[in-house]
Chains A and B, each alone.
Chain A
């Protein structure tokens, strides 16, 4: 057992070592980002896999210019998909979360885990029937099928987020509203919704990211001109014979919205993350 003085003497060294290791890992984590940035900004002629790690001689936006027309459609499609899907599934999640937290019905405690499982189910297990149904209803002729699917599969996580958020409302507050004459809907509007904006932020950000980053549903449930960006990206950059700079540039463009959201609104992203581990 070291004496306290010995430990104190080691203190600043340990701390410096910790910073160093954290910094090192930070660099390791950012290596791919570095490669991505550096390659996208290089002059296309000078790009080669072998010189991946070298800084660009001169900066050039040519790679982006080459790639954007091919990605543009997918980008717009993803926007049309992600924004309504996140809004609608958040609203529905708020209603569900409120009822499950504060206006329980018999069996509510059984219904909740049943809903929750929908969050973990592997998409493969429902993919074929899903495809059949969406195709037969003609919803795969545009984005409506995909939007519908993302709304529904987003319900478990948004319900979870709002349920844990609304659980913090005191029972007495709900009772006061009841005695004052408010039924379920009016209690929802006047008592729950006014405090809900942070939860909405969490739910919408998480759902937006989820919908934007999805690939499997995107490729199964849409046709060419309605492909979301993940599919467009894979088509451009997934082929084996694609120019390296275009692959990187398109990957970067595809990531911009979610990374932007993450950087600006990261703490809401974190809360969604924790909620999804059932630790919210």
Chain B
């Protein structure tokens, strides 16, 4: 196989006929051997971007480098990448064996070499006993593995994966995620992986690139995306349950909302500011009220979700709800059933509490808020002020 190569995207733009800009000046660098995840709500351009790297979409502007080579105008057949499709796209009239060997055959590998590699990959993926079956006779999980095997056998310079786990049921998806990680560790091939599921992105990616409407929002390691989101959209998109937002004002070194004043983190530029902000607190950013001197917030739980070791408490907060394009876009992507039946003025918080904390619907609950668990965003632009 040889050394892993990196992929570089320079100011990549895709404009479709009719004026739709699917990808807008994206700069991205995937290091050799890295597992990079592209994530974002549907329509954000992540699939288009992936297909441009594969050569299946033409590039309107910009350059794609595969290692040292400018492949922007190369046809897919001329690039050395392998792709795993969401629908697997297995050749229906070919046996698993021939499906696996097809790419090698197209590139002129000798028959012996082909057979050796196919046997090897079939062994790794547990497909030995299925080699003579046709795709129609396989289960969903088996087909997914054949699709992966087809890519692996070719030993390409890069793997491109377009939501390969989306069609699997939940449990299978989780186990395949682990398999994918192990495979990547073993093979070390540079990989670009597209998904709309931010949990998948965070668990699989060495680095994750968040896209929205064709524009790259942030590309960072999962922890940094979680703790240092660069704008409202990223903050709302990453993390499940998603971050709580509320409109607040900062003055005299503290942020005020719902009758609570929390000091701004020390050293922050907001210490001297006097302005409106959007305040974000993750569900895990609250503590149980105790006598540690932290500001407290009292809420009345409306819904309690049992998770076993933990609980989600959902409560109204007496502060204006935040409803911007960014938050709506991020939330649409995560769950489809976010019908808000509440009056629009009040914010609704989701709070993660330990399972042994006594919580009853209707009985006030006091929480503590620590300044360093707060996120601040500009209400107009959405950029982070932290």
A and B from one assembly?
yes
A179 and B81 in contact, given A186-B106, A195-B93 (Cβ under 8 angstroms): yes
Q: How far is the CA of A255 from the CA of B76 in the complex (A)?
A: 52
A183 to B106, CA, bound (A): 9
Task: Flag the segment in B84-92, B237-245, B353-361 that touches A.
Answer: B84-92
The answer to whether B85 and A176 have CB atoms under 8 Å apart is yes
- The answer to the question of A103 belonging to the interface, with a C-beta cut-off of 8 Å to chain B, is no
In the complex, B206 has a CB within 8 A of chain A:
no
Using C-beta atoms within 8 Å of the partner chain, give the interface range for chain A. Answer: 10 to 19
| Cβ-defined contact, A180 with B150, below 8 A | yes
Residue B222 is within 8 A (CB to CB) of chain A in the complex: no
List B contacts of A179 (CB < 8 A).
54-56, 76-77, 79, 81-83, 103
Q: Are the CB atoms of B103 and A190 closer together than 8 Å?
A: no
B317 to chain A, nearest CB (A): 46
Chain B residue nearest in CB terms to A195: B93
Segment of A127-135, A167-175, A203-211, A220-228 engaged in the interface with chain B:
A167-175
Alpha-carbon separation in the docked complex, A182 to B91 (Å): 13
Q: State A182–B94 Cα separation when bound (angstroms).
A: 15
Closest B residue to A194 using CB positions: B93
List, in ascending order, chain B residues with CB within 8 A of A183's CB.
Answer: 77
Interface-centre pick from A179, A180, A194, A195 (highest chain B CB count, 10 A): A179
A7-46 vs B, Cβ < 8 Å mask (1 yes, 0 no): 0000000000000000000000000000000000000000
Report A-chain residues with C-beta under 8 Å of the C-beta of B87. 170, 172
The answer to whether B233 has its CB under 8 Å from any CB of chain A is: no
Q: Is the CB of A190 within 8 A of B91?
A: yes
Nearest CB in chain A to that of B106: its residue: A181
Min CB distance A185 to B, Å, is: 11
A101-B176 Cα distance, complex, nearest whole Å: 35
B75 contact set on A, CB distance < 8 A:
178
Q: How many residues of chain B get a CB closer than 8 Å to chain A's CBs?
A: 25
Q: Are B93 and A178 in contact (CB under 8 A)?
A: no
Most buried by B among A173, A180, A183: A180
Tell yes or no: A139 within 8 A of B by CB. no
Hey, what's the 0/1 contact readout for B68-79 against A, CB within 8 Å counting as 1?
000000011101
CB nearest neighbor in B for A178: B76
Partner of A182 from the list B56, B77, B89, B93 (CB cut-off 8 Å) is: B77
* Residues of chain B contacted by A170 (CB below 8 angstroms): 87, 89
Q: Please tell me which one of the listed residues A173, A181, A191, A194 contacts residue B103 in the complex, with CB atoms under 8 A apart.
A: A181
Q: Verify if B102 is at the interface (C-beta below 8 Å from A).
A: yes
B116 near A: Cβ within 8 Å?
Answer: no
**Among the interface residues B55, B87, B102, which one has the most CB atoms of the partner chain A within 10 A?**
B102
Most buried by A among B77, B86, B154: B77
**B83: chain A residues within 8 A (beta carbon):** 175-176, 179
B191 CB to closest chain A CB (Å) equals 15
Indicate if B107 sits at the interface (CB-CB under 8 A).
Answer: yes
Residue pair B89, A195 in contact (C-beta under 8 Å): no
A176→B107 contact, CB < 8 A: no
Across-interface contacts of A180 in B (CB, < 8 A): 82, 102-103, 106, 150, 154
Interface residues of B in 80-135 (CB under 8 A from A): 81-83, 85-87, 89-94, 102-103, 106-107
Q: A76 CA to B114 CA in the complex, in Å? A: 50
Q: Which residues of B contact A190 (CB under 8 A)?
A: 91, 94, 102
1/0 per position for A126-150, CB-CB distance to B under 8 A?
A: 0000000000000000000000000
What residues of A have a CB within 8 angstroms of the CB of B77 in the complex?
A: 178-179, 181-183
Residues of B within 8 A of A182 (CB): 77, 102, 106
B94: chain A residues at CB < 8 Å are 190, 194
A179-B81, A179-B83 are contacts. A173–B91 as well, Cβ < 8 Å?
yes
Contact of A172 among B82, B85, B93 (CB under 8 A): B85
Looking at the complex, which one of B89, B90, B103, B154 makes contact with A175 (CB distance below 8 Å)? B89
Q: How many Å lie between the Cα of A54 and that of B367 in the bound state?
A: 104
Q: Chain A nearest CB: distance from B78 CB in Å?
A: 9
Distance in angstroms between the alpha carbons of A178 and B107 in the assembled complex: 11
Give Cα A194–Cα B90 distance, bound, in whole angstroms: 13
| A91-128 at interface with B (beta carbon < 8 Å) | none
CA distance A181 to B150 in the complex (A): 12
Cβ-neighbour of B85 out of A175, A186, A191 (below 8 A): A175
Chain B residue numbers with a CB within 8 Å of A194 are: 92-94
Give complex CA distance A275, B56 in Å: 31
A191 touches B106 (CB 8 A): no
Are the CB atoms of A172 and B89 closer together than 8 Å? yes
The residue from A173, A181, A186 contacting B89, defined by CB atoms under 8 A apart: A173
Also in contact, A178 and B56, with CB within 8 A (given A183-B77, A190-B102): yes
Min CB distance B100 to A, Å, is 11
- Bound-state CA distance A186–B108 (Å) is 13
- Nearest-CB residue, chain B, relative to A191: B91
Q: A176-B83, A190-B91 are in contact. List 9 more A-B contacts (CB 8 A).
A: A173-B91, A177-B102, A178-B75, A179-B55, A179-B56, A179-B103, A180-B154, A182-B106, A195-B92
Closest 8 CB pairs of A and B: A181-B106, A194-B93, A180-B103, A176-B89, A172-B89, A178-B76, A179-B83, A179-B76
Residues of A at the B interface (CB closer than 8 Å) are: 170, 172-173, 175-183, 186, 190-191, 194-195
Which residues of B are at the interface with A, using a C-beta cutoff of 8 A? 54-56, 75-77, 79, 81-83, 85-87, 89-94, 102-103, 106-107, 150, 154
List, sorted by A's number, 27 A–B pairs whose CB atoms are closer than 8 Å: A170-B87, A172-B85, A173-B89, A173-B92, A175-B56, A175-B83, A175-B85, A176-B83, A176-B91, A177-B91, A178-B56, A179-B56, A179-B76, A179-B77, A179-B79, A179-B81, A180-B102, A180-B154, A181-B77, A181-B103, A181-B106, A181-B107, A182-B106, A186-B106, A190-B91, A194-B94, A195-B93
